[in-house]
Amino acid sequence: MDTVTLHAKGKLLLTGEYAVLDGAAALALPTRQGQQLTVVPGGETGRLRWSSTDMNGVEWFSALLSLSDFSVVDTNNTAVAQRLSDIFRVCQSEQPGFLPADGPGISVRISADFPLDWGLGSSSTLIALVAKWANINPYLLLERTFGGSGYDIACAFADGPIVYQRPATGYDEHRFRRVSFAPAFADQLYFVYLGQKQNSREGIQRYRDLAPGENHALVERITDLTNAMLTCSTLPDFEAILAEHEALIGQTLQLPRVKDTLFRDYPGSVKSLGAWGGDFVLVTSEQSLEQTQKQWKTMGYEVCVGWREMLL
């Protein structure tokens, strides 16, 4: 086995949260930051040694797996190690011989270049990277492990904004298209980190509990808003789209908009991204980058990133 080095991008979902699960067209944005996977042959025969490090190179997770059945031999986090074991078992079932049981040892390291609590996709980039290494369908691997719509998998190797639409059945990889989305008002758009890491699976379960049936009207309207955003040319029109989108998802989840709960007096727009209630929000501002960052800092939010700094 040769040394393998792969990099996958993180993601932000601009439109379509939750409704993307039922087939709504969603506008998704790959981020500059992501994760890198490095595979080096060597080590104890029949063993896979795994190490996950943060953006400072500090190891936060380690595991030793048996190559015979991917059982956990040793780890510092049993729950994470079991997830990793499940991932490799799916890979082996789809690609027999991917990692021979009696083969030489392997050392694998995955390193993030963004703070892991930012919610940019530590799980999705992991799935995308391992699937590419194993040469299997990443959407199938996602479905059999973490679950979800798959938009984040599509972002992992995209080279710019995409419109993603989940098929009703199957694991067809042709489920997204590259789009041109470079708003003329990009310098008035910012990403603010709320500092409340959200569990996407919990958010999905709430959506399923509250909207268990067909959601044709919601899916169609969210798709319309995604398409409208692609051709939007002014900030006021963009903000109107954000407001309607927030209202629709809020009504579906029976939750108040984040602006109503936290930022009622903020003069610009505030939109949740991905799982509601945490991670990043998109905000608009007519002030400069420096003024906007200062304003959010005085409000208690240290991380305010400009559109061009965050995205490809």
Tens-digit pLDDT profile for residues 119-158 = 899 999 999 999 999 999 999 999 999 998 999 999 999 9
pTM: 0.94
Residue found by looking up tokens 């808003």 in the block:
225
- Domains belonging to the chain, first-starting first, are 4-178 (3.30.230.10), 186-310 (3.30.70.890)
For the segment 80-102, the average pLDDT, to the nearest whole number, is 95
For residues 153 and 131, give the distance between their C-alpha atoms in angstroms, rounded to a whole number.
10
Q: Give pairs for 249-257: CB < 8 Å, separation 24+.
A: 249/17, 249/18, 249/19, 249/276, 252/18, 252/19, 252/207, 252/210, 252/211, 252/215, 252/218, 253/18, 253/206, 253/207, 253/210, 254/210
Question: What are the phi and psi torsion angles at 10 (to 5°)?
Answer: -75, -170
Strands (E), the chain: 4-13, 26-41, 47-53, 59-66, 72-75, 106-112, 162-164, 176-178, 189-193, 270-272, 280-284, 304-306
Return the structure tokens found at 181. 């989305």
For residues 291 and 1, give the distance between their C-alpha atoms in angstroms, rounded to a whole number.
52
The distance in angstroms from the start CA to the end CA of the chain is 33
Report residue 276's pLDDT band, with 50, 70 and 90 as the boundaries.
confident
- The least confident of 27-41, 125-139, 246-260 is 246-260
For the segment 26-47, the average pLDDT, to the nearest whole number, is 95
Which pLDDT value is given to residue 203?
78
Q: What is the pLDDT of residues 291-305, one digit of tens each?
A: 999 999 999 999 999
Which pLDDT value is given to residue 192?
97
